[in-house]
Amino acid sequence: MNEIDLSVNIGSLKLKNPVMLASGTVGYGNEISEFTDLSKIGAIVTKSISLKPRKGNPPQRITETPSGMLNAIGLANVGVEEFITHKIPFLKKINSTLICNIAASSIEEYIECVEILETQETIKGFEINVSCPNVKEGGLIFGNDINAVGRITEKVRAKTNKPIIIKLSPNNSNISDYAEVVKKEGGDAVSAINTLVGTAFDIYSRKPKIKNITGGLSGPAIKPVALAKVLEISRKVDIPIIGIGGIFDWKDAVEFMIVGASAFQIGTVNFVNPRASLEIIEGLKKYCEETSITKISDLIASRII
Amino acid sequence: MFIDDCVVASNTKIAENTFLIGLEVPFSTEKLLPGQFFNIKVSNNSFPLLRRPFSISDVIENRIYFMYKVVGEGTSIISKKVKGETLNLLGPLGNSFNIDDSFSTAIIIGGGIGIAPFPFLIKKLVNKNIQVLFGMRSKSEAHNYGLVNINYSSDDGSIGLHGNVIDLLDVELKNSDETKTKIFACGPNAMFRALQKYLTNKNVLCEASMESAMACGFGICQGCPIEFKNNPSYNLICKDGPVFNIKDIVI
């Protein structure tokens, strides 16, 4: 049997396979490279970068929930300058496709970040985070404002020819309206979904389990929600979708692609099984063999409803 | 980095709610260092979802031992593991206690299950005077696994000194030469805060092994920040620690 073609396209971005490592779950690549061969993975999305370094939230930042976890890291990151000087050289060496995720507190900051990073050849595309639930400024304020999402897409589009992916929030109704705006303003793709706002309390101290009170829920618990959001976008808007939400193995990944995702990101699973990405690639190959699929892209939105 | 299933060799109760589990590992244990930890997945499914970090309690040939107290779902599952079953280990992770300083007396302070990393440390401390100060709520938590020269303290007075480990330390330091003494401590944050305060004006080295909720254990989730004095950004307990000089950290 011929080698199965695992490659997928996200707008003008060609990935060797649909497996992407989600922003904020692999840092800048160096730690997880001790467990996995990053050159085999479709793409890596960096931890959100902001113009200036961000300290992040005080502890406690995470807590476990049934089949999931809540996090409120608060976009801790080294800032654009340090990212270029100290993180990009490593990311360049590993020979994986690098998507740079950008977070900002204002539209101007998004633009400035893109302007600075645009010249970095190693960066093959931008994922714009308009949906972080854990910071006071930016993040969800934009993610829940359809006009702001449109403006950010439009302004960033004007500054770069590299693929632009807008990471959407599930914390609103009608996610497809947001995807429509992204498409209209020249975005290449959407990622869906970012984490869901959640909380957890200790019943004896009666205090929140994380310092930020609320955090972003991720993990297998959110998979059905994420699938429904991907389906909604896929049915209503003609734009490539990167599915995210609780993918733990190749079966979850196949489900996302059938429902409508052109590629997918794995996040929380990296914490539990840092080799999951390679295991998923192998699982996808086997699935394709078993079901006589020669091109994995044939799976995309192949749902039968 | 090792990540794989390991076979349970033994799992024995050593005190109330406190167990010692031994796991056969397929790699050389010679380079393991006291203070390092493993992140352990206790189930094959998504409940509980995350790994649990446990410091190495002891190493005998190709078996690694972890001392744990049953406090929640994860440790409850571990306590039911019997010989021949498996747990998935990831590690070794983190830095270690520094035993190369010029000290002749090691004072080991363990608060409750915080005593866990010390049997292994004690094995590595050759030609040192060792004094163990083991504090607990009550006598039911007491054991002596891998420990030497133990002074107990208890909150309820049921064993040893009726008080806490800082009271024990105060007595101990009065009989010691501070410049030739090093303290190794592990326990709850309340104990560390009291210890840090007590040591403020003293000239004695003290390393603290800190505990935190963690997801990954190797630096990617950013879930275990610890603040350093005079440093604007956070360090991570998993990657920069778990062992820190107690004078450097904000507890």
Distance from CA of B185 to the nearest CA of A (A): 21
In this prediction, residue B178 has a pLDDT band, given cuts at 50, 70 and 90, of: confident
> Given the structure tokens 């604007």, which residue do they identify?
B232
Which of B96, B81, B98, B12 shows the shortest CA–CA distance to B40? B81
Q: Is B9 on the interface with A (CB under 8 A)?
A: no
**pLDDT per residue over B9-35, tens digit each?**
999 999 999 999 999 999 999 999 999
For an interface test with A, give the residue of B3, B43, B222 to mutate (most A CBs within 10 A). B222
Least confident window among A124-133, A285-294, B60-69, B162-171: A124-133
b/e A286-302 (16+ beta carbons within 10 angstroms → b): ebbeeeebeebbebbee
**pLDDT per residue over A87-139, tens digit each?**
999 999 988 899 999 999 888 999 999 999 999 999 999 999 987 766 665 56
pLDDT the model gives residue A144? 84
Q: Is B227 on the interface with A (CB under 8 A)?
A: yes
Of the candidates A25, A55, A61, the beta carbon closest to that of B220 is on A25
Of the candidates B1, B41, B221, the beta carbon closest to that of A62 is on B221
Instruction: Give percent above pLDDT 90 in chain A.
Output: 86
Q: Span A166-172, mean pLDDT?
A: 91
* Residue A35 to residue B48, Cβ atoms within 8 A: no
Q: Does residue A272 surpass a pLDDT of 80?
A: yes
Positive/negative CA dihedral, A96, A98, A99, A104: positive
Q: Does residue A186 surpass a pLDDT of 80?
A: yes
Q: Tell how strand B243-245 and strand B205-209 pair up.
A: antiparallel
Q: Residue A174: how many CB atoms within 10 A of its CB? A: 11
ipTM: 0.94
CA-atom Rg of chain B in angstroms: 18
Q: Span B164-176, mean pLDDT?
A: 94
Question: What structural domains and CATH numbers belong to chain B?
Answer: 2-93 (2.40.30.10), 105-209 (3.40.50.80)
CA–CA distance, A163 with A93 (Å, rounded to integer): 21
Tokens coding B1: 């980095």
Q: Span B132-143, mean pLDDT?
A: 97
Q: Is B71 on the interface with A (CB under 8 A)?
A: no
Ramachandran area for residue A257 (φ above 0: left; ψ -120 to 50: alpha; else beta): alpha
CA–CA distance, B251 with B231 (Å, rounded to integer): 14
> Given the structure tokens 């505990």, which residue do they identify?
B211
pLDDT the model gives residue A136? 60
Q: Is B50 on the interface with A (CB under 8 A)?
A: yes
Which of B238, B184, B231, B200 shows the shortest CA–CA distance to B54? B238
Whether the Cβ atoms of residue A63 and residue A69 lie closer than 8 Å to each other: yes
Question: What structural domains and CATH numbers belong to chain A?
Answer: 8-56+75-196+218-299 (3.20.20.70)
Q: Is B179 on the interface with A (CB under 8 A)?
A: no
Which of B90, B168, B250 shows the shortest CA–CA distance to A36? B90
In this prediction, residue A3 has a pLDDT band, given cuts at 50, 70 and 90, of: confident
In this prediction, residue B81 has a pLDDT band, given cuts at 50, 70 and 90, of: very high
* Residue B225 to residue A59, Cβ atoms within 8 A: yes
Distance from CA of B50 to the nearest CA of A (A): 6
Which residues of chain B make contact with A211, given a CB cutoff of 8 A?
none
Least confident window among A216-225, A291-300, B149-158, B175-184: B175-184
**pLDDT per residue over A18-64, tens digit each?**
999 999 999 888 889 989 999 999 999 999 999 999 999 999 999 99
Q: Interior CA angle at A193 toward A120 and B74, to 5°? A: 105
* Residue A270 to residue B213, Cβ atoms within 8 A: no
CA–CA distance, B112 with B53 (Å, rounded to integer): 16
